Structure 1
Amino acid sequence: MDQVQTASAAEGGFKPLLRNRKYLLLVAAQLVSNMGEWLYFIALLTLVGLKWQATPWEITAMTLCMAIPIMIGGPIAGMLGDRYERKKIMIVSDVVRAALLVGMIFAGNLIQIYILLVAKGLMDVLFSPAKSGKIKEIVDPKYMDQAVTISSTIEQTSKIIGPSLGGLLLALFGIQLCFIIDAGAFVVSALLLLGVPGKIRKQPNVEASPLHIEAERQTPVKKSFFKEIGEGLQMIYSIPLLLGGVVTICMVLLVLQMADSQIVTLFRMIPDVSEDLLGYCISASGVGTLLAAMFVRKLKWGTLTKMGLGAVATGLVFAVCAVVVVAKLPHLVQGVALFGSFFLAGIGVGFVLVPFQMLLMKRTPEHMTSRVFGTVNSLTSAAVIVGPTIGGLMITGMGAVPTYIIAGLGTATVGAVLLCLKKNIVKKDELDSKPASIALTSETAAM
């Protein structure tokens, strides 16, 4: 029966989702919100880095103010997303973020910016798990892969278009009006969400852990605050395939951020480097990830295989980037090599991130979606915070090129280890899932 449904979903492509008005409103809100995120980020960097001439440590503190709320607040946001109405959470998040962005216009020093960033980070962390849970509510499981693909494509597209549009708006209207436009984007997102229905109860997730299938059917009971937060981590631990994916994604982000956070330091080593080269390379990475998001679901490989190969490819390309920077090549050849390397690295990142997002959607019960996504956001945010710290220490001690080579080879090693262990992980996952399949089959026969 599952094979027939999968085949039917594949034949239908994206058409069923395009007829799903609820889903279209949700992803439209996501698109507007994501675009606003990138417009705001560039305006903020321009204000703090260029107009106020902030020091590197002050810019680092700004980055931490954005990341730490996600790391700490992820499980809490997930718990709230599973306990309360997700639509209302997203609307409140959008409205408050709009007000905070307007507040940045009147900020006169870095301390005020830091406070606004922490508050905004807390609202950011509320939105994402609630959105993921809402997708689970309104999309048929047969079309979940397509739904995740569209959502991932929107995220990558906004990374490509957002910076260019942000630069244009800054040139035309200035920083203050750019903040206002960003605030307006969140207001539009909130208005779009008004058309999304409220709580929708769905049938239990057949692919979920057998330990939670029965719990998903039971009438919800009140639990302690910290118990609900811990359940997200327990759910991940109870599904071997999900656990393997989470460990991999955190390790990849940790090692990659050791180098990725110091990309400017690496590019400064190129004699007479063009100021536009870094922007072109980042855009190339975004295009690569976008293409991967569009096509990776069509490959018949397993999730862990895709993630492992993506990590290996990304790591090797990062190591090559360091070699290209110090190689005595003509500027044109060097620029083309770096552009191509970042494009391939973007494809590799897409092979890691997109299958992982699909895995999260497919294997997490609807009533636990927000908690699981909130926990994952916290774990990945911790990696994003620790990675740059280690990278800064390594670059100070040994330089940018060795750091990039070590980080690249480390990422490739994580992928290689996953490829070696994937058979055991999949086998254990299948064994743990068998009782659920047997129970559901018996129940169906009894009915």
Structure 2
Amino acid sequence: MKQGAELEVQKGKLTANKPFMLLISAQLVSNIGDWLYFLALLTMVGLKWQATPWEITALSLCMAVPMLLGGPLAGYLSDVLDRKAIMIGSDLIRAGIVAGLIFAGSLWQVYILLVAKGIMDVLFSPAKSGKLKELVPPAQMDQAIALSSSIEQITKIIGPALGGLLVAAVGISACYWIDSITYLISALILLAVPHAGKYRTARESNGEAANRSKGFQTFRREAGAGLKLISGMPVVLSGMIMLVSVLMVLQIADSQTVTLFREIPGVSEDLLGWCMAASGFGTLLSALFTARLRGAVRPLVLMSTGAILMGAVFASAAVITSYGDAGIWMNIILFGTFALAGTGAGLVFIPFNAMLQRRTPEAYTGRVFGTVNSLTSAAVILGPVAGGAMVTSAGPVAAFIVSGMLAAMLGAAMLMLRGRIEGSDETALQAVSEPVA
């Protein structure tokens, strides 16, 4: 009977899963608004206010510090509290925070609002990952991750392009208003998502939970459960180390993209938005490509290939901008390089997220993803700090070249070590399965 039910799930269409489609619809709406807001923020601070490299770095820090400090706690809360309520509450509060950016008149006001929004982001992210695990059967998890990633990248194409048009036509404030409204729409859609998904596993009783919640040591153990699970899976652990390392070195340059664009004489204000859209198109291609593979290629191979591709593209972009002038050919070349960079990013992030969802028990999804979010946030903090220092001392071109070379070297190193890591992972799986057998 169980085999027949599983076969029926595998044959069914993921799009017929109404709760999952509601979750994805909420993501689609809010993601479009987020890219409008992000482009408006960079345009306001980087081009209109002419912020220094360190001031631009501070933007990334304000968004990442809450995730770094609160990731494990938010993951733990998403595993023991109502994930739906967490997501809806986060959406409603973020709607008010983004609306507050309309009235910000100084960088310090922007920083405070970004920290507040970051706190809500850190609560929402693991709750969404856990809810996805509740709503989707294991046989369709790769397809669900690919669809979610595709939507992210489609909105990355639409959002910045639309944002560039809105900034030019009606101003920056319109982008903030629209993003605020999209959070409200997302919250309304999430109201229809069930509190407990079909694939949610049993939780401990209220009495057991109360006993376990006593004392800081118990909480620290529970919050660290995500890292303990990851450490027991060598392929996942290695993928996470590579993901964090690549993200950190790429943030040296990526956080200063607007500074690099200022090096191009006569650059247009809407060029940044179009290049961000090209990056989203490249990552969308990666999502479609990995979905068709259906696990035929090992995740570490895809991640290594993506890191090498991104590294080569970042170094090339620096050379192009240092020797070219603004114009149609410069735009075409930059669109192409950003699309390739997006493709590489998709090959790094999407296979890792799919592997993490597949191998994480549903009851621990929040803690595992909270831990990963915390570590990636550390990379998002350290990278821009190094980038700000490098851009200030040597300029954005040197920062992009160094960042690209380091990313390519990390990808090559992982390719050489992959066989040994996968062998250790198979040994660990056998050690776990033998006592059960």
TM-score normalised to the size of structure 2? 0.88
Inter-partner Cα distance in structure 2 for 1:105 and 1:5? 52
**Structure 2 residue ranges without an equivalent (≥5):** none
Residue 433, structure 1, aligned to residue 429, structure 2: yes
1:74/1:375 contact within 8 Å kept: yes
Going from structure 1 to structure 2, the CA distance change for 1:238 and 1:419 (only over 3 Å counts) comes to same
Amino acid in the other structure paired with 1:347: T
Amino acid in the other structure paired with 2:290: V
2:19 equivalent among 6, 18, 22: 22
Amino acid in the other structure paired with 2:249: V
Aligned residues with identical type, % of pairs = 53
Going from structure 1 to structure 2, the CA distance change for 1:250 and 1:3 (only over 3 Å counts) comes to farther
Inter-partner Cα distance in structure 1 for 2:413 and 2:98? 43
1:138 equivalent among 131, 135, 138: 135
Q: Bigger shift: 176-185 or 166-175?
A: 166-175
Going from structure 1 to structure 2, the CA distance change for 1:249 and 1:5 (only over 3 Å counts) comes to farther
2:348 aligns with 352
Amino acid in the other structure paired with 1:376: V
Residue 186, structure 1, aligned to residue 183, structure 2: yes
Q: Secondary structure in 1 aligned to 2:224?
A: helix
Residue 375, structure 1, aligned to residue 371, structure 2: yes
Deviations, residues 117-160 of structure 1 (Å, cap 9, x unaligned): 21111001111110010010110000000100111111111111
1:336 equivalent among 332, 339, 348: 332
Going from structure 1 to structure 2, the CA distance change for 1:195 and 1:274 (only over 3 Å counts) comes to closer
Q: Bigger shift: 392-401 or 285-294?
A: 392-401
For residue 428 of structure 1, report the CA deviation from its aligned partner: 1.1
1:147-296 paired onto structure 2 within 5 Å: 147-171=144-168, 173-200=170-197, 202=199, 221=209, 222-223=212-213, 224-296=218-290
Going from structure 1 to structure 2, the CA distance change for 1:437 and 1:9 (only over 3 Å counts) comes to farther
Inter-partner Cα distance in structure 1 for 2:424 and 2:195? 37
Residue 88, structure 1, aligned to residue 85, structure 2: yes
1:288/1:344 contact within 8 Å kept: yes
For residue 175 of structure 1, report the CA deviation from its aligned partner: 4.2
1:404 aligns with 400
Amino acid in the other structure paired with 1:313: L
1:5/1:142 contact within 8 Å kept: no
Amino acid in the other structure paired with 2:145: V
Inter-partner Cα distance in structure 2 for 1:322 and 1:420? 28
Going from structure 1 to structure 2, the CA distance change for 1:406 and 1:168 (only over 3 Å counts) comes to closer
Going from structure 1 to structure 2, the CA distance change for 1:395 and 1:178 (only over 3 Å counts) comes to closer
1:87/1:193 contact within 8 Å kept: yes
Q: Secondary structure in 2 aligned to 1:125?
A: helix
1:419 aligns with 415
Inter-partner Cα distance in structure 1 for 2:413 and 2:123? 34
Deviations, residues 221-275 of structure 1 (Å, cap 9, x unaligned): 4242222211121121121111011100001011111112222333344444455
Going from structure 1 to structure 2, the CA distance change for 1:154 and 1:226 (only over 3 Å counts) comes to same
Inter-partner Cα distance in structure 2 for 1:350 and 1:272? 31
2:384 aligns with 388
Q: Secondary structure in 1 aligned to 2:194?
A: coil
1:307/1:352 contact within 8 Å kept: yes
1:208 aligns with none
2:22/2:192 contact within 8 Å kept: yes
Inter-partner Cα distance in structure 1 for 2:172 and 2:401? 38
Inter-partner Cα distance in structure 2 for 1:92 and 1:52? 33
Residue 64, structure 1, aligned to residue 58, structure 2: no
1:297/1:355 contact within 8 Å kept: no
For residue 402 of structure 1, report the CA deviation from its aligned partner: 3.0
Pairwise CA RMSD of aligned residues? 2.9
Inter-partner Cα distance in structure 2 for 1:337 and 1:8? 48
Q: Secondary structure in 2 aligned to 1:197?
A: coil
Q: Bigger shift: 59-68 or 363-372?
A: 59-68
Inter-partner Cα distance in structure 2 for 1:74 and 1:289? 25
Residue 302, structure 1, aligned to residue 298, structure 2: yes
Going from structure 1 to structure 2, the CA distance change for 1:40 and 1:294 (only over 3 Å counts) comes to same
For residue 329 of structure 1, report the CA deviation from its aligned partner: 8.9
Deviations, residues 145-189 of structure 1 (Å, cap 9, x unaligned): 010011111111111111222344445554445433322211111
2:265/2:325 contact within 8 Å kept: no
Deviations, residues 398-434 of structure 1 (Å, cap 9, x unaligned): 3333332221111011111111111111111111111
For residue 8 of structure 1, report the CA deviation from its aligned partner: 8.3
TM-score normalised to the size of structure 1? 0.86
